[in-house]
Structure 1
Amino acid sequence: MLQSQPSRIGTLLLLLSAVIGFAVAIYAWLTPLTGVTGTIGALGVAIASVLLAILTFILRGASRRGARIFLIIVTLVMLFGIGFAGALLHQYIITAAMVVGLIGLIVLSSNSVRHNHHARA
């Protein structure tokens, strides 16, 4: 099945935000003097970013309306949760990346609206 251009852009933005969130969280978790070295919060953000990437692929492949709505809501909650955790960890790059992911989710979900109008005689 061919995906439209907005669908690709939305998917790429969501994946980009997940990769940036993962990379910054792992960096903060491993690097001394970041203030969150070895904390469960930084590791949790890294794991949540991996889950966000997995949700992105599942959302892209979902075709039923109910499943798409559920996955959009779960992805939205994940984006807000990761962004808030990034702010609490003073890793504002993670929060900015989740804003980019939110834009990607909006693009991806607005493209998913399909109207089936049947002519009645």
Structure 2
Amino acid sequence: MLQTQPSRFGSILLLLSAVIGFAVALYAWLTPLTGVTGTIGVLGVAIASVLLALLALLLRGASHRGTRIFLIIVTLVLLFGIGFAAALLHQYIITAAMVVGLIGLIALSSNSVRPNHRARA
């Protein structure tokens, strides 16, 4: 299946935000004097960022309308959850990355799935 330009752009933005979120959360979890070193909250943000990357890959390959809508809603909830948790942890770079991910999700979801019409005999 050929990917259109908004779909490719949206999935790249969503994956980029997940990678940035994971990297910054892992840095904050491992580095002393960040204020959140070794806390469960920042570890949760790192794990949720990995889930966000998996959802982005699943969303890119989803072809059925119901599956796409479900994945878009779950991804949207995860984006808001990660952004809110990062704001509470004072990791505003992660929150900004989730805003970029939201832009990518909008670009990805604006691409409508073409119905698969098959000839009936």
Partner residue, 2:70: 70
What SS does the aligned partner of 1:42 have? helix
Partner residue, 1:105: 105
Give a deviation string over 1:86-105, Cα, whole Å, max 9, x none: 00110000000000000000
- Cα distance in 2 for residues equivalent to 1:61 and 1:40: 32
CA contact (8 A) 2:64 2:113 kept: no
* CA positional deviation for 1:72: 0.2
* CA positional deviation for 1:115: 7.3
- Cα distance in 2 for residues equivalent to 1:75 and 1:6: 17
CA contact (8 A) 2:63 2:113 kept: no
Instruction: Detail structure 1 runs of 4+ shifted over 6 Å in the superposition.
Output: none
* CA positional deviation for 1:29: 0.1
* CA positional deviation for 1:112: 2.4
* CA positional deviation for 1:28: 0.3
1:36 matched to 2:32: no
* CA positional deviation for 1:2: 1.3
TM-score (normalizing by structure 1): 0.93
Which letter maps to 1:98? M
- Cα distance in 1 for residues equivalent to 2:104 and 2:10: 4
Partner residue, 1:15: 15
Once the two structures are superposed, the pairs formed by residues 54-93 of structure 1 within 5 Å of their partners are 54-93=54-93
CA contact (8 A) 2:59 2:68 kept: yes
* CA positional deviation for 1:83: 0.2
Q: CA RMSD in A?
A: 1.2
Structure 1 unpaired stretches of 5+: 117-121
- Cα distance in 2 for residues equivalent to 1:63 and 1:40: 36
1:52 matched to 2:52: yes
CA contact (8 A) 2:86 2:92 kept: yes
* CA positional deviation for 1:42: 0.6
* CA positional deviation for 1:114: 3.9
Structure 2 unpaired stretches of 5+: 117-121
